[in-house]
Structures are given as structure tokens and as C-alpha cells.
Structure 1
């Protein structure tokens, strides 16, 4: 498998919240990045979104100051895939959609190209059924915002190859990320633990026992949770949280992972958190 470090070109598929943040992380470390999305609106917004991420990351000291940024290219097709050593899929947390996208990527990429699925909960071995060379597929769960949080969850499925695992280690090291390898399975470690807590916090609000502000204050000041669970849910995106919980609930049968009705109501109303301007909190002033 080719070396995926040393400013090699990358492809990121999906120009949503995570895709643009991952693209900014890679560009900020000097990698040329081709960001692919079929949505005209997403492609039009992507350059400004990535530029905003880069400015924010630099202000926070989260990117190297001695490295010129890589070039960002935004496209609507898979034309660039044959020329790269690594592809990161970052579409919505829908197992069927992810499988379809990975199948397309695998058919367009050269054998041995590192295929990374950025997923918070879909088992990698399940996704591996969609690609002809499952040994090339690895899961990496980048946390949001990807250009700030330096530790990521790495998921090696039972069919992930050693060459892919090594290329993933090299790529993450070059991006200044620390990868921690965990076993495959719905929700892996972080989502299996965190999303259950977020779902419970939303249920407490739904039951009328506390406001979002009260829940977050108690969890921050008594338990030491940095942002509070409801603010964290808004940052993740309430639609993404609901999708991840649904994936885990369907695969484990654990009733604690069934998405809260309040969460589903928010999603139906389009109140998705920070990215839509409102969720459990109102962000519209900060977006202006």
C-alpha cells in the first residue's frame, strides 16, 4: 500500500460538517485535498466553510505555523480518486448510504488505496461487505471539530489488512492526530458510551425534570463534562446523533440506545443544533 503521508493528495467524500472539518485538517497540514459532494449547495459553500475552519484552527493554535497549506479542490465526481493514496468517506451516518459510497470509491480507486470510513457507529466489517478488497478498509472516528481534537478512534475490522492499518497510522501521525485502536462493533467505544449519556440527558429534559441549561451546568460543574451533554449533542448535530443511536439500537437491541422522542421531534422540526442555528440552544446570533 502506498505511503499516505508526506503531503500526499487526499480525497474526502462528503462536504458536510465532518467532511469540511476533515478537509480543513488535511489542508492545514499541507495535503492537497479534493472534496467531493453531489450537492450543488454543499459544493458552493465548501470553500468558505473550509476557510473558516482554517482561520479558527489557526487562531486556536491547532495547526502547524511552519507548513504551507495544501490546495483545496471541490468536485462533484470521483475523477480524482485514481491518483490518490487515501480516500476518506464522510457522508451521513446511514449504513446503506455509506455502503453505496464505499462501493463506488473502491471501484474507482486503485487496488491498495487506503479507504477510510469516518463513522461514529457503523461496524466496519458490515461496511466491508460492500467493497471488493475489504483489506483496504479501516474506520476512523474523527471527533468534531476534527481540526481541534487530536485523538481519534481507529477501528480495524476483522478483514482490515496490516498494510491499511500501517497507512492509517502514518496518515494520522502526519495530521498530528493520536489514533487509539479499538475493536469493531456498533458504536465502538466512544459512541457506545457517550451517545447513551446524551440520549439519557435528552430524556431528562423531555420528562421536565430540568432544562438543558440545568443539565449541562450540573454535568459540567459536578461531573467535569467539559461542555455538557446537550451542548455536545448540538455540536454533533441532532440528526447525526439520532442516526448513530438508531444504528446502535438496531444492532444491539439495547433500549437505552433507542433515540429519545424529544430528539426525534427536534430533527423533524429541522432543529439540528449548531449547523442549523437552533437545537437545544439558539446559535443564530453567533452565525450572523
Structure 2
């Protein structure tokens, strides 16, 4: 399998918040990136977001203007998976839906080379189950970036049952190339980050639903009392309430413990389209700009 320093072409499937961030960091690392999504509008938003975030890094003197221009020039968008056929690494960053991910990995395996690393940015779905939809499951791995990707240093690297040492070594090398800190986790529901984080967020929603305190009070307690940089309800809005709900459903279904049952208020907000920052309203209201 190719070495991390030799990776020149990367595919990113899914042009949402995570996908655009992943494309951003690979572009900065010198890779030619093909960002793929069926939704043309999502691709336009992703490109604008990448350009905006690169400019922000220039403004903070984290990168130079030339670095930002070069990175943006390396990133191309496309609506067809044919664009990633020659990629040495493909990172899937689609919605947290198991059926969708299974289908994507079947299609990717049929298109890319037999040694191409296939990574999933899933935050809770079993890597082993995803890999079962690929002819060579040894090359499938979890590469769970944190949001916002250009800022957060952590990447959870999840080994499935069949993931090879070579695939793991390549992924760890890629994390280092991206200036990320990698932590290896085994394939359990929610891995480490969301096994701990999501029940906390869910419990915060229960506090709100049961009238223990209002949203601002809940978040203030966790920020000032527990030294969290952001309260759990504001963080849920940033992540997306639909994503939080989907992860809690996976934890509840696969671990079978009632403590992982999604809070009814969380489900109600998702049903109402209150998804957080991306929809303009979640536990808080957001305005453009």
C-alpha cells in the first residue's frame, strides 16, 4: 500500500460541513482533491465555505495568502463518483445513515483501484459493517474528524475487524501529514468521542425538556462550572441535531441500554426541522452573518 507522503490524489464524498473541512485540510497538505456530491448547491456552498475558512486562516496568520490560493486551486468539485476513480485515498463524509454508507462503499469499491484506502468519517456506524460491503475489507478504516475540521486537531482512527496494519499505518501517516493527532479506537458503537459526548448532550436536552433550567443556563453551568469551551446545547446546534439524534439511535440500538434512548425533545426538534446552525434554529436561533 502507498505511503502517506506519496499520496497525491484524494477523493472526498459528501460536501457538507465535514466533507468541505476534510477537503480543505487535504488541499492544504498538497493533495489534489475531488469533492463529490450529487447536490450542486451543496458543492457551491462547500467551495464558498472552504474559500472563506482559508481566508480566515490567512487573517490569523496561520497560513500565507499563497498557501490559501494554492490549496483552493487543488480542490475541484464534481457530481459523479467517476471523479475519484484514480484517487489513492477516498474519505466518505456522507450523512450518518448506514444504508447510504453501505451503498456508497459498494459503488466506490467497484470504481477505485484495489489498493485504494477507503475511509469513513462516520461518527458511530460500525466500520466492520461498512467494510462487509467491500470486496477487500482490509483497506477500509474509520477516519473520524472533529468539527470544525480545519481547527480541531483530533482524528479518531477506527479499525474494523478486517482492517489491515498497512491501512492503519497509512491512515496514521495521513493524520500526521495533516498536522492532526490520531487516536486509535476499536470498532464499538460511538467509538470513544461520541460514546462519551452524545449521552452528555442527550442528558442536557432532558434537563431542558424537564424544565430543570433553560438552554442558556444549562450551557453556562457546563462552560463555567466544568470549563467546557462550549455548552452541550450550543455544541449540539453546531454538530446538527439530526446527526446527534442519529448517533443516539445507533448507540441505543447497538448497546441496548435505556440510558442511550434519544430524548423525545431532541426527536421532536429534528422532526420540526430545527437542526441547529445549518437550519437557522435549534436550541438557539441563528441569523446569516
Q: For residues 164 and 64 of structure 1, do their structure 2 counterparts lie closer, same or farther at Cα, with a shift above 3 Å needed?
A: farther
Q: Which of 263, 266, 272 matches 2:266?
A: 263
How far did 1:30 drift?
Answer: 2.3
Distance 2:224 2:57 in 1: 27
Aligned partners of 1:57 and 1:148 also within 8 Å: no
Aligned partners of 2:234 and 2:283 also within 8 Å: yes
Distance 2:239 2:22 in 1: 14
Aligned residues: 286
Which moved further from structure 2: 183-192 or 4-13? 4-13
Within 5 Å, give how 1:201-280 maps onto structure 2. 201-280=204-283
What TM-score results when the alignment is normalised by the length of structure 2? 0.94
Distance 1:96 1:134 in 2: 17
Q: Which of 177, 180, 188 matches 2:180?
A: 177
Q: For residues 164 and 229 of structure 1, do their structure 2 counterparts lie closer, same or farther at Cα, with a shift above 3 Å needed?
A: same
Are positions 1:153 and 2:153 aligned together? no
Structure 2 spans left out of the alignment, 5+ residues: none
How far did 1:9 drift?
Answer: 1.6
Structure 2 match to 1:29: 29
Corresponding residue SS for 1:115: strand
RMSD (Å) for aligned C-alpha atoms: 1.6
How far did 1:82 drift?
Answer: 2.5
Aligned partners of 1:89 and 1:118 also within 8 Å: yes
Deviations 1:124-164 (A, max 9, x none): 11111111110000101100001100111110112001111
Deviations 1:170-213 (A, max 9, x none): 11111111110011111001100100000000010000111110
Distance 1:109 1:58 in 2: 35
Structure 1 match to 2:79: 76
Q: For residues 250 and 52 of structure 1, do their structure 2 counterparts lie closer, same or farther at Cα, with a shift above 3 Å needed?
A: same
Distance 2:98 2:57 in 1: 31
How far did 1:29 drift?
Answer: 2.4
Q: For residues 66 and 180 of structure 1, do their structure 2 counterparts lie closer, same or farther at Cα, with a shift above 3 Å needed?
A: farther
Corresponding residue SS for 1:146: coil
Structure 1 match to 2:93: 90
Distance 1:279 1:122 in 2: 24
Distance 2:246 2:57 in 1: 28
Q: Which of 168, 183, 193 matches 1:190?
A: 193
Aligned partners of 1:220 and 1:227 also within 8 Å: yes
Within 5 Å, give how 1:36-115 maps onto structure 2. 36-60=36-60, 67=67, 68-69=70-71, 70-115=73-118
Aligned partners of 1:154 and 1:181 also within 8 Å: yes
Are positions 1:9 and 2:30 aligned together? no
Aligned partners of 2:17 and 2:46 also within 8 Å: no
Distance 1:164 1:204 in 2: 42
Aligned partners of 1:273 and 1:280 also within 8 Å: yes
